Amino acid sequence: MPRPGDVRPRLKDLIAAIIQSGHDDGSVRPEVTGSTVVRFGAMLAQPMTAVSGWDEAAEEQRTVFLRGIASAGY
């Protein structure tokens, strides 16, 4: 069974590819990144209050979530 650290680089690449595909076809807003998706997932699981800059990152997440990640017209 792979350890979590072993699959992280692959997962990061997969998330980046999915987001890039959305950027390329215009279905995902340009400001959405793989990090945006990962932070949002982490925030859903448990707020990371010990992480430097978390308040700003959480605010970004709320903004993106409330607006949606889709580009206009999608």
Per residue in 4-58, pLDDT tens? 678 888 988 999 999 999 999 999 889 999 988 888 777 767 777 788 888 888 8
Q: What percentage of the chain carries pLDDT values higher than 70?
A: 93
Residues ≥6 apart with Cβ < 8 Å to 37: 15, 19
Q: What is the predicted pLDDT for the residue at 16? A: 94
Q: Give the Cα separation of 73 and 6 in Å (integer).
A: 38
66 — pLDDT class (breaks 50, 70, 90): low
**38 within 8 A of 18, measured Cβ to Cβ:** no
